[in-house]
Structure 1
Amino acid sequence: MTTESDRYFAELTDTLRAAGVPDEQIAATVEDLRGHLAETGTGPEEEFGPAAAFAGRLGGLAPLPGEPDEQAENWTWTADFFNDRRMLAVHGEQGWEVESLDAIGRFVCRRAPGAALRWEYRREVIKGGRRTKVLGELEPEGWELCGEWLVYGYFKRPKAASAGPEGGLETLPARPRGWLFLSGRGKAALVIWGLAVVLCLAAALSGLGLPGYVIALLSLGYAIGMTYTAKLEMDKGYVYADRKAARNDESA
């Protein structure tokens, strides 16, 4: 029968193996840890903490999270709130570990050569008294708070915690060329914001007065309406195309 201790050390073993630690070293480490628990009479998670986080402190071949590494790649990027979770998943699969969020909300990342891990991320609301509750739910599962922005907290953990040996990377993809990743809605919002700035600046410089400001606001409203209408029409076109393709597949 599998005990809690067996499950803990199985997860610890998978995580260390994904980090590139040799099997002999893993076996010796697990044996030492089991002997320690036999002496103390405590459970493994009570004594060492979550297996994934504990493996990060044991993984001698991979730099520990937050520690400097002269050979590590460093990269900073950002995305809007409609796109951040998707891009975190994409870049986490490529071995990028978020170390922090800087003062303007950019993700400051690092990737260690040779022993990089895949990372998984999640975003949670932690303001308004939710911090303690969210941390209490996620930390036992190996999630670590890696940055905060506005009301959100961003959490990371090595993918080996859920995927086992598949959480490691044998080869590293090239670093992405860009640093700004906007969704369709984010791009539309940026265009609207730019129009608003231009219209307000034009109104201020030309001294339009009240009628001019009314016209400027109406023009802005028209621009917003046209942008939103264009998006709806585009979405409708996608739905129509998908339905047409589905009907063609059924008839074939």
Structure 2
Amino acid sequence: MSTQHTEPSAYFDELSAALRGAGVPAEQMASTVAELRGHLAETGSSPEEEFGPAADFAARLGGTAPVAAEPAEKAETWLWTADIYNDRRLLALHGDQGWEVEGLDTLGRFKCRRVPGAALRWEYRRELISGKRRAEVLDRLTPEGWEMCGEWTVFAYFKRPKAASEGPAAALDTLPARPGRWLFLSRKGKLLVAVWLLMVIGAVSVSLVDVFDMPPYTVVFVSLFGLVGALIGLKRDAIKGCQG
């Protein structure tokens, strides 16, 4: 016995109306529906098979944006950073926890936001983007629903809600607690930082010996003392930035 399905246009009309009634902003509603249409075109399946009944799916997709009546103070914010050997893995992990990257600050930290009760899983990708590559990357990714969410040196980061690729599986029922850390370094990243610090200490030591004619052990002590003080200051500033 065959199952009768709604025409995609009628389905998405019903979905749009339901999202509008749920208070989803018009611009984001149109973007979400366009992404879902693109996903459906790729799979070749019917909207009911892929997403379920329009009304039920709209109720889940209400989390693609904060509900208009949701108090702004309920939104969680978080700043964190990682090295280039670790960033894509962590973006995937935190995206699955509902964290949406809204940009990168001048220190290269990801500025994230999440609204409890209205969160959706996000997926991310990193692309090398410089010179002529910028237009090529944007032309390739934009039709697939990817939106640039930040740039750092020669890298660009893109995001899209997982509803575009996973349908109902993108909804989040419960949210893990916000991680207590802000810095995530891979083993290779830690090794590079250690090498850099040793180079700094060496350069400072040579300068002090030449300028002040200090004994080597005094130079090492002064260098280490200054390094510890600098690290404490950086940590204090970073904590203030995360809380701000």
The TM-score, its normalising length taken from structure 2, stands at: 0.62
Equivalent pair of 1:95/1:119 in contact (CA under 8 Å): yes
What are the equivalent positions in structure 2 for 1:141-156 lying under 5 Å apart? 141-156=144-159
Return the alpha-carbon distance in structure 1 between the equivalents of residues 149 and 162 of structure 2. 15
User: Does the alignment pair 1:25 with 2:27?
Assistant: no
- Please give the residue correspondences for 1:29-178 in structure 2 after superposition, counting only pairs within 5 Å: 49-51=34-36, 62-63=65-66, 69-178=72-181
Q: 1:232 aligns to what?
A: none
SS of the aligned residue for 1:203 comes to helix
Deviation of the 1:75 alpha carbon: 0.2
Count of paired positions: 175
* Unaligned 5+ runs, structure 1: 17-23, 30-43, 209-252
Query: Following the alignment from structure 2 to structure 1, what is the Cα–Cα distance between the partners of residues 10 and 201?
Result: 59
User: Per-residue displacement from partner, 1:54-103 (whole Å, max 9, x unpaired)?
Assistant: x99xx655328xxx933100000000000000110111011000000001
Within 1, Cα distance between the matches of 2:165 and 2:9?
Answer: 13
Aligned-residue CA RMSD in angstroms?
Answer: 3.6
How far apart, in 2, do the equivalents of 1:201 and 1:179 lie? 29
Q: Partner amino acid for 1:206?
A: V
Q: 2:207 aligns with which of 190, 204, 207?
A: 204
Distance (Å, rounded) in 1 between the aligned partners of 2:37 and 2:129 = 22
Distance (whole Å) between structure 1 residues aligned to residue 129 and residue 107 of structure 2 = 18
> Helix, strand or coil for the counterpart of 1:165?
helix
Call closer, same or farther: CA 1:147–1:198 in 2, change over 3 Å: same
Distance in 2, Cα, partners of 1:52 & 1:112: 26
| TM-score, with structure 1 as normaliser | 0.60
Runs of 4+ in 1 over 4 A off after TM superposition: 7-10, 26-29
Q: In structure 1, how many angstroms separate the alpha carbons of the residues matched to 2:177 and 2:9?
A: 36
Alpha-carbon separation, structure 2, partners of 1:52 and 1:174: 33
Deviation at residue 139 of structure 1 after TM alignment: 1.0
The runs of 5 or more residues in structure 2 that have no matched partner are 1-6, 23-29, 39-56, 212-244
In 1, Cα distance between equivalents of 2:62 and 2:172: 16
Counterpart of 1:152, as a letter, is: F
Partner amino acid, structure 2, of 1:123: R
* Whole-angstrom CA distance in 1 between matches of 2:37 and 2:197: 45
Provide the secondary structure at the position in 2 that maps to 1:139.
Answer: helix
CA distance in 1, matches of 2:11, 2:158: 23
Calculate percent identity across the aligned residue pairs.
53
